[in-house]
Structure 1
């Protein structure tokens, strides 16, 4: 196994550690530590790709493992965030003076909205994965585009900031951080839909029957 693949495997191994730390609230600032683990895991994605391309170490194993590692990491993070709805409603404390009924209503609304957004994000990833599988069978190359990269950037920022903010949601700074994370979360959802549509339109030939 070459170096890029070892880095990818390390990223996969970081996922269960990320989950354990997220739920291990006996650790001070466990959400902040989980955010650091997520950022490190996300950075290894850029690192293994750079090493593989620059040293001509691209392998079929790497092509298989890398996208799986990315999707499992991000999917896990979003699902974990949905189990802590307070992170989505905390920003409203900045504007309503902390009224309990308003916060509860906001939490319910945001939990539903966030759930729908995560479902859209995961659906897009499944659709794109399906396209890539069909393309691989037909020996077609599908290049990454700028919209997809913007989506990934917004995705990583939103997850990291939301996770970090959860250790300080009872403070104004934590609520502001959650608001920033929420903005990137909705930007991520927007670019997920946009890049998904663009991806399908640009690569619709993948689904056409060959003559």
Structure 2
């Protein structure tokens, strides 16, 4: 197994560790969750860069890399919905309907890619999809920072307290809107794939 694929596989393990941290009873559990999510996100960036630069692109990587991304992001949003239910006083909560949109989009696009593969058609990634992924990661990190900063030094808490709630609320809404928009654009531009069988 080459290095990019090892990084991809590590993301599955990091997702499990992240979920443990989110619900652990450690006094610094929010900070741990933030750290593990950031590490997992960095592996997502690195595996693609290394695979392209070293010409290590494999069928395994093409399949498992986007799957690992989807599991990480969807797991994080679902966990944050549950966290909000357990702690309703949090200033910004992830609503269940938001996660339904995010998960439904990922399932729809994955299903269409499988349909395209059955037709021997390769669907290229689009910039809207990349913007969507970045916005989701930024929103999750912002949500985690919002919870974690209360575990930090008082002066650092004061710095984040000034803006983190407003930034988090905006980042979450942008992520949801970009998720829905990118999904609609992708489905429309590649409509020939699913129109063939109708």
TM-score of Structure 1 vs Structure 2, range by shorter chain: 0.7 to 0.9
Q: Write out per-residue CA displacement over residues 74-133 of structure 1, whole angstroms, 9 at most, x where no aligned residue.
A: 111001111122478516xxxxxxxxxxxxxxxxxx56xx21111001100000000111
Q: RMSD between aligned alpha carbons?
A: 2.1
> Which of these two proteins has the greater Rg computed from alpha carbons?
1
Point out where structure 1 has 5 or more consecutive residues left out of the alignment: 92-109
- Normalised to the residue count of structure 1, the TM-score between the two structures is 0.82
Q: 1:175: Cα distance to partner?
A: 7.4
Structure-1 residue corresponding to 2:154: none
Q: Secondary structure at the match of 1:84?
A: helix
Aligned length: 189
Counterparts of 1:122 and 1:174, CA distance in 2: 30
- Normalised to the residue count of structure 2, the TM-score between the two structures is 0.87
Q: Secondary structure at the match of 2:38?
A: helix
Superposed structure 1 runs of 4+ greater than 6 Å apart = none
Indicate yes or no: 2:42 matched with 1:43: yes
Counterparts of 1:54 and 1:205, CA distance in 2: 33
Structure-2 residue corresponding to 1:149: 130
Counterparts of 2:36 and 2:161, CA distance in 1: 19
Structure-1 residue corresponding to 2:91: 90
Point out where structure 2 has 5 or more consecutive residues left out of the alignment: 152-156
Q: Write out per-residue CA displacement over residues 127-184 of structure 1, whole angstroms, 9 at most, x where no aligned residue.
A: 0000111111112121111211111111001101111211346966347323312211
Match of residue 187, structure 1, among 174, 177, 190: 174
Structure-2 residue corresponding to 1:102: none
Give yes or no for contact 1:158–1:184 (8 Å, CA) kept in 2. yes
Give yes or no for contact 1:128–1:196 (8 Å, CA) kept in 2. yes
